Amino acid sequence: MTQLEYALSGIVTKEMKIVAEYEGVDEEFILEGVKKGEIVIPSNINHKNLIPKGIGRGLSTKVNANIGTSDAYPEIDKEIEKLNVAVKAGADAVMDLSTGGDINQSRRKILENSPVPVGTVPMYQAAVESMYKYGSIVAMPEEFIFEVIEQQAEDGVDFITVHCGLTFESLKKLKDNGRVMDVVSRGGSFTIGWMLYNDKENPLYEHFDRLLDIAKKYDITLSLGDGLRPGCLEDATDSAQIQELIILGELVKRARETGVQVMVEGPGHVPIDQIEANVKLQKQLCHNAPFYVLGPIVTDIAPGYDHITAAIGGAVAAAAGADFLCYVTPAEHLGLPDMEDVKEGVIAAKIAAHAADIAKGVKGAKEKDLTMAKARKALDWDEQIKLSIDPDKAFKYRINKNVSTAKTCSMCGKFCAMKIVSEYLGTPPMTC
């Protein structure tokens, strides 16, 4: 049985108990959220070392980090290092987006070493292997994509991005509307190229029931991908994007009726004033399914700083109701991230997620900041570093700046203005 089927039967699973304890909420709250499909717990029955995480309504906003090998960088050990860096920095999930080297071995090694949920985009592997087996991506037999999905499911992948909303209907909207950047989703472009070349409907849409059978067998959470997500601000919230979202909403209902957990992916590049509307539209059209967003990136002119542009958009999106942020690193649009880029990307997304959790009233979020404020007033530097989102960096700055840790004011001495204010307010002494 899947987590959703257990919930519909009124059974609290061990995974639900772990999520409830982590979030500081009642088990019944998690049970009801999973039952309604508003919370998902990606947890493949074959991922043995998994510490489950919940994603969705009323829970802390989660962060994903992308890793994976390529032809240029096929070393699996380096991706395991990135996995460890991401998890240490606070990533709640990782996606193995390998497109080169030994893709099967890379995925299995990541699963073996990952305590957090692992996701993939099966079309990546299917496309790469089709080039070798069949001569091109568009020559891929329909059967092959399902073979790859089944293999990844058997290995223990917890959630998969599948671009099921790409249909000839949505492609017509894309062509009629026109775009500056056309299609920027890699998996989406593979799928569309296959459809157009073979003049056939998207097999992941046409044979969605078969996909559901695989997902149900292993309790994989489907992450319905946005193959028509905007790749620049000019293309945001157009008819093609919305048409795909409408189709995904229909598929959400079909997945839930089958007992399969499902979430929905979103944009992309979005002007800051359109983000809230995008989130509310997704929640309405997709029946409050958990929303997984890439960024959103709020300006196109900051290469090298897109972890910041994405954090700005991510904070706005999550405050409006998005549940899961995919990190963006400083290397976005420029190249592949190194270890430091991975850490910077995760930290930026974690800051966005926490800022949004305060706005959403997520249990325990505001209290963290209050505890930090009290430590600052007490000049308790050790506690401040301990409470920070990146203790290593906070410690480095504290040591390198060589600031005195004395609790008396070096500027005002016994006549410290802050002391006078504290005495007037009747609070513990504080120095400037």
265 labelled as ligand-binding?
A: yes
229 labelled as ligand-binding?
A: yes
- Token couple for 163: 């671009």
376 labelled as ligand-binding?
A: no
Task: Give the position of tokens 């001569």.
Answer: 135
269 labelled as ligand-binding?
A: yes
Q: Do the strands 62-67 and 55-56 form a parallel or antiparallel pair, or are they unpaired?
A: unpaired
- Whole-angstrom distance, CA of residue 385 vs CA of residue 121: 37
- Helix (H), strand (E) at residue 371: helix 365-377
47 labelled as ligand-binding?
A: no
Provide DSSP, 233-294: GGGTT-HHHHHHHHHHHHHHHHHHHHT--EEEEE-SB--GGGHHHHHHHHHHHTTT--EEEE
Task: Give the position of tokens 């930290």.
Answer: 347
- Whole-angstrom distance, CA of residue 98 vs CA of residue 336: 12
135 φ/ψ angles, rounded to the nearest 5 degrees: 95, -20
CA angle 366, 369, 374 (to 5 degrees): 130
- Token couple for 84: 């460890």
Count of other CB atoms within 10 angstroms of residue 275: 28
- Whole-angstrom distance, CA of residue 212 vs CA of residue 41: 16
Judge whether 214 and 149 are in contact, CB under 8 Å.
Answer: yes
- Whole-angstrom distance, CA of residue 410 vs CA of residue 431: 9
- Whole-angstrom distance, CA of residue 303 vs CA of residue 299: 10
334 labelled as ligand-binding?
A: no
- Whole-angstrom distance, CA of residue 60 vs CA of residue 42: 15
- Whole-angstrom distance, CA of residue 430 vs CA of residue 34: 47
Residue 357: CB partners within 8 Å, gap ≥ 6?
Answer: 60, 61, 318, 365
232 labelled as ligand-binding?
A: no
207 labelled as ligand-binding?
A: no
228 labelled as ligand-binding?
A: yes
Judge whether 419 and 429 are in contact, CB under 8 Å.
Answer: yes
Q: Do the strands 39-40 and 55-56 form a parallel or antiparallel pair, or are they unpaired?
A: antiparallel
412 labelled as ligand-binding?
A: yes
95 labelled as ligand-binding?
A: yes
Most distant pair of Cα atoms in the chain: their distance: 82
Residue positions forming the annotated binding site for [4Fe-4S] cluster: 409, 412, 416
Residue positions forming the annotated binding site for Zn(2+): 269, 333
Residue positions forming the annotated binding site for substrate: 66, 95, 124, 163, 185-187, 226-229, 265, 292
Residue positions forming the annotated binding site: 66, 95, 124, 163, 185-187, 226-229, 265, 269, 292, 333, 409, 412, 416
